[in-house]
Amino acid sequence: MAAFVARRGRWPGVFLASMLLASSMALPGAAHAADLLTVHLDQAAVLKLPDRTATLIIGNPLIADAVVQAGDVAVITAKSYGVTNLVALDSNGSTLMERPIQVLGSKDRTVVVYRGVERETYSCAPDCERRITLGDGSAYFNGNLTQVGTFSSHAKGEGLK
């Protein structure tokens, strides 16, 4: 077990993250960084599948989803924070590929406002605007989601009758 030491003038989160990364690499069977597919929330990644892939399995579809496209390509979409895996099988059930998928937070510039236990997230690129982010307070999250749904309906002409 690693000891956590905070040094004055240094950000303890960086130290902790580096210790966790180092310890995960030392574990038997841990995925190498080159094998890890990292996808950020609200984004997708393209993954080339092995020839003869007949079945594609996502370990936890609440974390990521995969849609197979022509040319043995899968589009991996981030759905929530965490790590899961993707397994490609041939028609006989033999494993052709297994790859870990890590979903991280958004890459854009965000500001998080805490009001007690309630959280609000804003995308600030270049101006700060509300955004829908997992972990935000229910009222803020649902209010934003309702506005987006209403806006989308109007954009499709569904709300203008």
Question: Could you tell me if 132 and 89 lie in one domain?
Answer: no
Residue 161 maps to a domain: no
How do the pLDDT tens digits run along the chain, 161 residues long?
A: 333 333 334 444 444 444 444 444 444 444 455 699 999 988 999 999 999 999 999 999 999 999 999 999 999 999 999 999 999 999 999 999 999 999 998 888 889 999 999 999 999 988 999 988 889 999 999 999 999 999 888 898 876 65
Instruction: Collapse the DSSP code of 130 into the 3-class scheme (helix H, G, I; strand E, B; otherwise coil) and give the result.
Output: strand
Are both 89 and 131 inside the same structural domain? no
Assigned token pair, 31: 């995925």
Task: Establish if 23 belongs to a structural domain.
Answer: no
pTM of the complete model: 0.65
Q: Which tokens sit at 107?
A: 């890459």
- CB 78 within 8 Å of CB 41: yes
- Domain presence at residue 124: yes
Structural domain total, the chain: 2
**What does the alpha-carbon distance between residue 41 and residue 137 come to, in Å, rounded to a whole number?**
18
Residues 80 and 139 in one domain: no
Alpha helices in 43-105 (DSSP H): none
Cα–Cα distance, 110 to 145 (Å, whole number): 18
Domain span at 88 = 31-104
Statement to judge: residues 62 and 86 lie in one domain: yes
Q: Residue type at 16? A: L
140 assigned to some structural domain: yes
Please tell me whether residues 38 and 90 are part of one structural domain. yes
56 is a domain residue: yes
List the one residue out of 130, 152, 154, 153 whose CA is nearest residue 143: 130
Pair 19, 2: CB distance under 8 Å: yes
Domain assignment of residue 133, yes or no: yes
- Cα–Cα distance measured from residue 32 to residue 64, given in angstroms and rounded to the nearest whole number: 19
Would 66 be classed as within a structural domain? yes
